[in-house]
């Protein structure tokens, strides 16, 4: 096809080749438009309307301006559920980053020469691939009032009678945080390790010559150099935390009980979507979109901006 | 090894290597235990009968695995059907995702057209936006298109996957020289044919890694399928798991509950253990650059 053109003009040939760049981009942008961009616009549009069902009567859609936004902020829902989401995220994130740094430092420390690294990496990454809903269902059955965990604790005489994990706000939050920790620390370890292996070995050698302990090396060399990756891990994990859904949804059967103390933002959104309260759901989505948008910009700035030449 | 330990001990004021190594092994063993114990308990419980499970936990597996499995298949929750649906949705998503992400990455990688940089920047910027924030518009627009309760809204969006795109683009940067494409052109190979018969085969390692990740995330996805699918026969595994939870689960045969959870978790574990080398390596490849 292009043989003939080739003989004619080098330049027009390059241009006609480059036209293919646009052609190859068509599938991505058509799909993006239909399944993400139009939905985004529809979501924002819906947030300005009063549109819900009250019993059997359909209210709206009536244009109400920013009323949905005002309602969701003033009735405390947004603040409450943001607080729940953040608490459960922090419970999981603190051990996650702690153990990831520790493991990353150990795995990349040449003087330790740990054996079985591949085995350990394989094992700690495993929970990341597990279906979160099934994992959560498993925890629910294990920690239920007469489940195996209670039976073990009672048999070992650590407890006089079964502890009702699911009726205790702190216990439920800790279980959610713990599951998130188990599912994500392997992933973070592998990311941090990649960063640690990229550090110039001569820095460590110089530190050793100067008589620095491994603790000093970690705090004074490894950590400062890792800062961009740590910020990346922190923010992507925060974005992931804001999306927290499967685990608390299945664990509490969508109620966020006890007393909605484990109801996350996305669980709240999911409730609105099922009850077809599109106005409030829209306002909540726009809030989430703005927050994740700002966080994404930070990730973009620190990690990918250099990619575009 | 001990020489090294002694040397280190004398030169540094901190703990000697031997002690640090021991602590490292202990912590690693505890963490590995924390990762694996749940699957062990799940396996044990899946092999025990409902009445046996009520008497408490045992360390040794029971003999009821096959019976629990038969009860599950004959039960009210259409697990086999759900598995088939999950395989269809996840398989097609993975296929479409890798092929078209490769194509998008190729467009940015191989051609110098106007607006190329802005498009690249745009795709990277939308990478982190979660699907949940557009879910409301998504279901109402899918309703308008008549696509509710169908697999299309769960499969086709995989074509526009910024993360897979970025991974492919990075792989191309280091593994797909433009001179090769020039050579194909001089030999008179059309652009589309070049992509299919030269680029795609060269991208196989990246395609394999991304296919696994897309398959697993689609297999595990609960949020969107739960909003789109409403017919029992079309539901995927995560929705069925959620149904187990929302039903009056105390009346359930617990052996069947455990075997159902095991049934949705273990296929992924088996695939993972076979391919773990590539998967663990692939985690970082698409990730950050310092």
A125 vs B258: CB contact, 8 Å cut-off? no
Do B77 and B145 reside in the same domain of the chain?
A: yes
**Looking at residue B234, which CATH number applies to its domain?**
1.10.3720.10
Which value does ipTM take for this structure? 0.86
Indicate which of B137, B194, B259 best probes the interface with A, i.e. most A CBs within 10 Å of its own CB. Answer: B137
Do B38 and B100 reside in the same domain of the chain?
A: no
Query: Rounded to an integer, what distance in angstroms lies between the CA atom of residue A309 and that of residue A302?
Result: 15
Do B189 and B102 reside in the same domain of the chain?
A: yes
B56 neighbourhood in chain A, CB within 8 Å = 148, 151-152, 155
Whether B32 and chain A come into contact, CB under 8 Å, resolves to yes
Enclosing H/E stretch for B32: helix B17-46
Contacts of A93 (CB under 8 A, 6+ apart): A180, A181, A234, A237, A241
Task: Report yes or no on B187 lying in a domain.
Answer: yes
Do B18 and B159 reside in the same domain of the chain?
A: no
Query: Rounded to an integer, what distance in angstroms lies between the CA atom of residue B27 and that of residue B118?
Result: 47
B17 vs A112: CB contact, 8 Å cut-off? yes
Indicate which of A13, A137, A290 best probes the interface with B, i.e. most B CBs within 10 Å of its own CB. Answer: A137
List, in sequence order, the alpha helices (H) in B111-161.
Answer: 116-126, 135-144, 152-155
Q: How confident is the model at residue B13 (pLDDT cuts 50, 70, 90)?
A: very low
Go through B170-198 and write b for each residue having 16 or more CB atoms within 10 A of its CB, e for each that does not. Answer: bbbeeebeeeebeebbeeebebeebbeeb
Do B101 and B26 reside in the same domain of the chain?
A: no
A135 vs B38: CB contact, 8 Å cut-off? yes
pTM of the model: 0.88
Task: Report yes or no on B223 lying in a domain.
Answer: yes
- Measured between CA atoms, how close is B241 to chain A, in angstroms? 6
Tell me what pLDDT residue B289 has: 38
- Measured between CA atoms, how close is A83 to chain B, in angstroms? 18
- Domain with B244, as residue range(s), is 68-281
pLDDT digits (tens, 9 = 90+) for B244-287: 888 776 677 888 889 999 988 988 898 888 888 777 777 765 44
Task: Report yes or no on B211 lying in a domain.
Answer: yes
B130 neighbourhood in chain A, CB within 8 Å = 239, 242-243, 288, 292
Option in A129, A138, A232 nearest B288 (CB): A232
Task: Report yes or no on B19 lying in a domain.
Answer: yes
Query: Rounded to an integer, what distance in angstroms lies between the CA atom of residue A51 and that of residue A194?
Result: 49
Tell me what pLDDT residue A304 has: 74
Q: Which residue of A has its CA nearest to B42?
A: A138
Task: Report yes or no on B135 lying in a domain.
Answer: yes
Task: Report yes or no on B51 lying in a domain.
Answer: no
Number of structural domains found in chain B: 2
Whether residue A190 has pLDDT greater than 70: yes
Whether residue B6 has pLDDT greater than 50: no
B93 neighbourhood in chain A, CB within 8 Å = none
Q: Which residue of B has its CA nearest to A245?
A: B223
Do B12 and B81 reside in the same domain of the chain?
A: no
Whether B244 and chain A come into contact, CB under 8 Å, resolves to yes
Option in A118, A152, A239 nearest B130 (CB): A239
pLDDT digits (tens, 9 = 90+) for B28-53: 999 999 999 999 989 998 998 888 88
Option in A46, A111, A113 nearest B137 (CB): A46
pLDDT digits (tens, 9 = 90+) for A85-115: 999 999 999 999 999 999 998 998 878 888 8
Which one, of B224, B248, B245, lies nearest residue B236 by Cα? Answer: B224
Contacts of A2 (CB under 8 A, 6+ apart): A13, A16, A17, B185, B188, B190
Return mean pLDDT, chain B. 86
Task: Report yes or no on B53 lying in a domain.
Answer: no
């Amino acid at each position: 096809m292009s043989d003939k053109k080739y003989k004619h003009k080098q330049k027009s040939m390059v241009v006609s080749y480059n036209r293919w760049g646009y052609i190859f981009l068509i599938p991505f942008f058509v799909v993006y438009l239909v399944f993400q961009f139009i939905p985004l616009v529809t979501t924002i549009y819906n947030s300005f309307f009063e549109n819900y069902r009250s019993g059997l009567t359909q209210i709206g859609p009536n244009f109400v301006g920013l009323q949905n936004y005002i309602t969701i902020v003033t009735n405390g829902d947004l603040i409450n559920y943001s607080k729940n989401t953040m608490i459960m995220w922090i419970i999981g994130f603190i051990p996650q980053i702690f153990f990831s740094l520790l493991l990353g430092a150990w795995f990349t420390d040449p003087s330790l020469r740990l054996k079985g690294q591949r085995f350990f990496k394989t094992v700690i990454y495993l929970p990341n691939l597990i279906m979160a809903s099934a994992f959560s269902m498993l925890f629910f059955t294990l920690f239920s009032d007469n489940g195996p965990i209670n039976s073990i604790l009672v048999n070992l005489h650590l407890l006089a009678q079964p502890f009702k994990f699911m009726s205790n706000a702190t216990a439920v939050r800790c279980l959610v945080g713990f599951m998130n920790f188990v599912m994500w620390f392997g992933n973070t370890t592998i990311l941090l390790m990649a960063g640690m292996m990229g550090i110039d070995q001569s820095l460590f050698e110089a530190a050793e010559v100067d008589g620095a302990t491994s603790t000093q090396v970690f705090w004074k060399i490894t950590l400062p150099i890792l800062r961009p990756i740590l910020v990346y891990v922190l923010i992507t994990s925060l974005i992931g935390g804001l999306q927290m859904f499967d685990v608390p949804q299945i664990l509490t059967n969508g109620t966020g009980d006890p007393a909605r103390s484990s109801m996350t933002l996305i669980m709240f959104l999911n409730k609105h979507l099922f009850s077809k309260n599109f106005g409030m759901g829209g306002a909540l989505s726009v809030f989430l979109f703005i927050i994740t948008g700002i966080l994404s910009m930070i990730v973009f700035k620190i990690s990918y901006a250099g990619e575009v030449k | 090894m001990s020489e090294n330990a002694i040397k280190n001990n004398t030169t540094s004021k901190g703990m000697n290597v031997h002690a640090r190594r021991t602590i490292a092994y202990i912590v690693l063993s505890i963490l590995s235990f924390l990762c694996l114990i749940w699957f062990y308990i799940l396996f044990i419980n899946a092999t025990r009968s409902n009445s046996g499970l009520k008497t408490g936990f045992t360390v040794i597996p029971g003999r009821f695995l096959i019976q629990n499995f038969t009860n599950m298949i004959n039960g009210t929750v259409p697990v086999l059907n759900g598995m088939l649906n999950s395989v269809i949705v996840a398989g097609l998503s993975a296929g479409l995702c890798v092929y078209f992400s490769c194509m998008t990455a190729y467009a940015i990688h191989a051609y110098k057209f106007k607006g190329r940089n802005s498009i690249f920047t745009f795709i990277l910027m939308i990478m982190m936006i979660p699907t949940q924030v557009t879910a409301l518009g998504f279901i109402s627009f899918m309703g308008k298109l008549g696509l509710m309760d169908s697999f299309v809204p769960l499969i086709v969006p995989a074509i526009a996957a910024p993360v897979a795109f970025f991974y492919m683009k990075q792989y191309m940067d280091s593994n797909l020289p433009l001179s090769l494409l020039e050579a194909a052109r001089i030999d008179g190979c059309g652009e589309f044919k070049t992509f299919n018969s030269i680029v795609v085969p060269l991208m196989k390692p990246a395609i394999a890694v991304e296919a696994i990740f897309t398959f697993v995330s689609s297999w595990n996805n609960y949020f969107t399928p739960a909003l789109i699918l409403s017919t029992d026969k079309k539901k995927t595994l995560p929705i069925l798991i959620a149904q187990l939870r929302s039903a009056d689960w105390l009346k359930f045969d617990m052996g069947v509950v455990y075997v159902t959870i095991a049934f949705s978790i273990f296929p992924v574990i088996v695939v993972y253990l076979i391919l773990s080398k590539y998967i663990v390596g692939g985690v970082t490849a698409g990730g950050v650059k310092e």
